[in-house]
Chain A
Amino acid sequence: MNADETTDTDVRLEVYRFFAERGRPPVPAEVAENLGTVQSVVEASLRRLADDHVLVLAPGTPYIWMANPLSALPTPYKVEIAGRAWFGNCIWDALGVVAMFGGDGTVKTWCPDCGRRLHAEVADNHVVSGHGVVHFAVPAAQWWDDIGFN
C-alpha cells in the first residue's frame, strides 16, 4: 500500500467513525485534527476518495455530502437505531446503515406515490416487519452518472 492509499484508508475510517459517533460528517479540519495531519492532506484524500466513488463531496467544496450509505443532508430515509438517528441516501443506503451498524434498526419513510408512511424493521439481520417494494429507476451501469438523483 503506498502513502496515498494509507492516508485514504485512515481518512475513510475517521470519516465513518466520526459520522457514526456524531450523526454528521466531519469537516476536513476535524479529520486533520483527529489524525494529527494537515487540512490540505485531508482535502486531497477526500478528493481521491470521491474520484473513486467511496464518498461524495458537495459540489465545488471539500465537504462531505454522502459517505455511503450515510447522508449529511436529511432525506426521506430516516434510520433509527437504539435511540439514535441517521439518514440514508435512498432505501438501499438506509438499510445499508442498519447493516453497517450491526443489523438491528428501523427505516422510516413515505410512499412517494401516496404519501403513506412506510417502515422496514430489521432485527438480528432479518426483516421482521414492514412491507413495500423497491424501485430502481436507472440501470446499474449508470448509477454514478447522477448519484444525487439515484
Chain B
Amino acid sequence: MLLFRSEEHVRNWYRRQGMSLGAILTLEQQWELARIWYADRMSPDWRRRTPEEAEAVFGGLGLTGDFWRLTPAPG
C-alpha cells in the first residue's frame, strides 16, 4: 500500500510498471483504517479479526465490492 502525490501519479507509475490499477483511498480513509486496525494491537485482549469482521471494517469506510471481499461471494 503506497502513498502517491495524486491519482495522476498513481496512474503514471502503474502504467510504467505494466501493472493494472487496484483501489484508491483518500489519506483520511487510510488513517481511519489504520486507526481501527492497529490501535489495540498492543492490548492483551487483541485477537485477529475474522474475515467477516474485517469486511465489516472495510464496509464501514465505504470499501465494498469484490476487491475488499474476504468471504465467499453470496449466491
Question: Chain A residues in contact with chain B, CB under 8 A?
Answer: 9, 12-13, 16-17, 20, 52-54, 68-69, 77, 90-100, 103, 107, 109, 111-114, 116, 118, 120, 122, 125-127, 130-141, 150
Contact = CB atoms under 8 A, between A and B. Distances in A.
Given A113-B4, A113-B10, A127-B27, A138 B34 contact: no
Closest 7 CB pairs of A and B: A96-B38, A95-B34, A113-B9, A113-B13, A90-B1, A111-B5, A91-B3
Contact of A137 (B19, B28, B66): B19
Interface residues of B, number: 42
B1 A136 contact: yes
Contacts of B13: 112-113
Contacts of B3: 77, 91, 107, 109, 111, 118, 120, 132-134
Contacts of B42: 13, 16-17, 20, 100
B11 to A, nearest CB: 9
Contacts of A114: 5, 9
Main SS class of interface, A: mixed
Contacts of A68: 38, 41
Nearest to A127: B31
A134 B5 contact: no
